[in-house]
Amino acid sequence: MSTASKESTPRGTLALELLLGTLTAFAPLSIDMYLPALPGIAEDLRSSASVIQLTLASCFAGLALGQLITGPLIDHFGRKRPLQLGLGLYVLGSLGCALAPNAPALVALRFVQALGGAVALVTPRAVVRDLWSGAEAARTMSRLMLVVGVAPVLAPLLGGFVLRHSGWRTIFVVLAVVGALALVAVVRTLRETAPPRTGTRTMRSRLGELLGDADFVGPALAGGFAYAGMFAYIAGSPFVFISLHGVAPENFGWFFGANAVGLVTLAQLNRKLVRHIPLHRLLRIAVSLYAVTAVGVLLVAWSGFLGLWGLAAALFLFVSTLGLVGPNSAAIALERHAAHAGLASALLGALQFASAAAASWAVSTFNNGTAKPMGGVVAVAAALAWLAGVVGHRTRSREQGAGEGSAVSRGTA
């Protein structure tokens, strides 16, 4: 790590990783905390379940568009100032959601909230690429997922608690407070990590370099489709668990949190695996496991095998494998693009949440009161992730090269 990089690390690497993980957790917090309230919101706003599910689709769309906007901004203006502006917009959007008078307004305000929150997704990945590369970047991404994994465990439980004692609008007030606290932390502790700007290359040329790199496009698509499968589960699970299987809203978080524990566990296992298995090979293994577990979800959703507990077990295995796909796909995609890590991170995240928006839209559109639409969309997304990660991504035999990190290349030579 360079001297400049060390100077940009607030209170040491551990403190930086904690802050970056917290920022990355904004998306799962914003999405997962209100999931137990979805059936109640539909009833309170006198709307159908399919319309209320569009609040998830609009959130994903805002996260996708917001990341595309954020990438060029943080490459041009640095990491810190755009992050501060985004967090401010997130706070305002959250307060707007708390005051939404009807379902269409809530759909629109969720989009605004997500536009601001998108900055908190792009910036941490860019900062990681500013300071690390190769296998070390993959290990850092895995550590961030440890922090991120706490959010899906706690968010639905906290949302269920708030829902039981105060109502769904208070959930968005809590999110506004979290955003305000994060903004204060960024202002006081985060230092600039962006490298000095060099050259005058146009946006078109930088995009062309990214989209022409097989080691970016393949992993980026694999990660994007993998996240689409997870968000199909997120969009469908509240109604499947609560409405279909009769799980109490305050208990929904236990099912959701168990899956997050599985994801975090495999993400931490990934830190060990990258020391012994080249990243490209590990990604192919990960997307293959992801596809197999998705088939399990599809079969259980359509057959009803073992009812609630059969579905819960299949979803646990499916979500857990994302802990292997996510860190490795991101590390490979960003590896060769340090000079414009903001744009690369933005495009990576936009692919993820554009796919997620499409997946959640599909689940809401085909909602028929069963688990079948969720299972079908999960399977399609996983098949596409497998195609991108195994069939579509033909690396140029870089597994033994410096792109894997010196430690990995020594361990596999």
Domains and CATH numbers, the chain: 3-191+203-412 (1.20.1250.20)
For residue 64, how far is the Cα from the chain centroid?
Answer: 11
Half-sphere exposure of 82 (CA within 13 A, CB side): 27
State how far the alpha carbon of 36 is from the alpha carbons of 253, 320, 335, in Å.
Answer: 8, 21, 38
Strands (E), 3-55: none
| Residue-level length of the chain | 413
What is the rounded distance in angstroms from the CA atom of residue 174 to the CA atom of residue 157? Answer: 13
- Give the pair of three-digit tokens for residue 234: 């997120």
Q: Tell me how many degrees the CA angle 108-30-382 measures, rounded to the nearest 5.
A: 95
pLDDT of the chain, 413 residues: tens digit per residue? 333 333 344 345 777 778 888 888 887 788 888 888 888 898 899 888 778 888 988 888 888 888 888 888 888 888 889 999 999 999 999 999 999 999 999 999 999 999 999 888 888 878 887 777 667 777 777 777 666 666 766 777 788 888 888 889 999 999 999 999 999 988 888 788 777 665 556 667 777 777 777 778 888 889 889 989 988 888 888 888 888 888 887 788 788 778 878 888 898 898 889 888 888 889 999 999 999 999 999 999 999 888 899 999 999 999 999 889 988 888 888 777 766 667 887 788 778 778 877 888 888 888 888 889 999 999 999 999 999 888 755 544 344 344 444 433 333 33
Residues 6+ apart with CB under 8 A from 67: 118, 121, 122, 345, 346, 347, 349, 350, 353
Residues 6+ apart with CB under 8 A from 383: 291, 294
Q: Is 213 exposed, middle or buried (0-12, 13-18, 19+ CB in 10 A)?
A: middle
The string of DSSP letters for 294-312 reads HHHHHHHHHH-TTHHHHHH
Q: Tell me how many degrees the CA angle 122-170-109 measures, rounded to the nearest 5.
A: 50
- Give the pair of three-digit tokens for residue 264: 């975090």
